[in-house]
A = this chain, B = another copy of it.
Amino acid sequence: MDLLTGEMNSVAREIDKALGALLPPVEDYEAEVFEAMRYALLAGGKRLRPFLVLASTALFDVPIERARRAACALECVHTYSLVHDDLPCMDDDDMRRGKPTTHKKFGEATAVLAGDALLTLAFEILSDEATHHDPKVRADLVLALAQAAGAHGMVGGQMIDMLAETTSLDIGAVTRLQQMKTGALIRFAVDAGAIMGHATTDQKHALHNYAYDLGLAFQITDDLLDVEGSAEELGKAVGKDDKKETFVSLLGVERARMQANMLAEQAVIHMDHFDEKAELLRLLPHFVINRRS
């Protein structure tokens, strides 16, 4: 196993453990919403966003206990977005990562509530003193995550994505959609490093540009996998998006792959601002575009 894969696996295990500890089961009438939150949160996954938080905070030697909390908060928001996106009134997905989706397992009402509670929990985690002794850092993390996740960020992107089923978008609109829908949280991941690490303006810009390119490369690869992949490999329905314009439908497979490669190269170059501590961040973009699921 190479350095990056080993590190990513180790982060995934560490984050699973931290998420489980942040959200112990409760034994009261409201137990079911906690069960649904845990079910959605502990369903595995690559934990790419937490990995990015840990890798970017490591640039600035932020203590790992603090970095881990920010990573968990971000994963709560990512998970809530999956739970709500899977709902019958949204993408209507029955399976995710080879398991029934949260509403299939717990019912729709509980899934809505579990998503709401996970989003809320993210802000509870970030604003708690345990995340950072400096309240300015805590407030800045909350602000950055709220902006990334809200109607000008992820939720707005999801709104456009729904519209895309009936409206034909051009490459500019699809890029904007994806930079909102998936890019915004990926940018928050490295912003968290910059905020907690008191980065310089140059460092902030470098991390932001890195995340911008990485996020787009990630999404183009997702579109490529959706065309090429099999349902088994991805653990979810394939080809569902074929009414919608994607990077692949607009650029074709070859140009889309070239674009993803170029963005990955570019992301690596942005890391020239940092020393050898950025090694994992330099390896990640090529992992992202070469992944099989």
Binding site for B on A (CB under 8 A): 29-30, 32-34, 37, 80, 84, 87, 89-90, 107-110, 112-113, 115-117, 119-121, 123-124, 126-128, 134-136, 138-140, 142-143, 145-147, 149-151, 155-160, 162-163, 167, 169, 173, 176-177, 180
- Identical copies in the complex: 2
Q: Report whether A30 and B160 are in contact in the complex, using a CB–CB cutoff of 8 Å.
A: yes
Q: Report whether B160 and A146 are in contact in the complex, using a CB–CB cutoff of 8 Å.
A: no
Contacts of A176 in B (CB 8 A): 29
Query: Do A146 and B159 form a contact, CB below 8 Å, given A29-B173, A135-B139, A136-B135?
Result: no
Residue of A89, A121, A124, A139 with most chain B CB atoms under a 10 A cut-off: A139
Q: Report whether A29 and B151 are in contact in the complex, using a CB–CB cutoff of 8 Å.
A: no
Q: Report whether A127 and B139 are in contact in the complex, using a CB–CB cutoff of 8 Å.
A: yes
Contacts of A142 in B (CB 8 A): 123, 126-127, 138-139, 142
Q: Report whether A90 and B119 are in contact in the complex, using a CB–CB cutoff of 8 Å.
A: no
Contacts of A119 in B (CB 8 A): 116, 119-120
Q: Which residue of B lies closest to A156 (CB)?
A: B30
Contacts of A87 in B (CB 8 A): 109, 112
Contacts of A84 in B (CB 8 A): 112-113, 116
Whole-angstrom distance between the Cβ of A12 and the nearest chain B Cβ: 24
A138 to B120: give the CA distance in the assembly, Å.
16
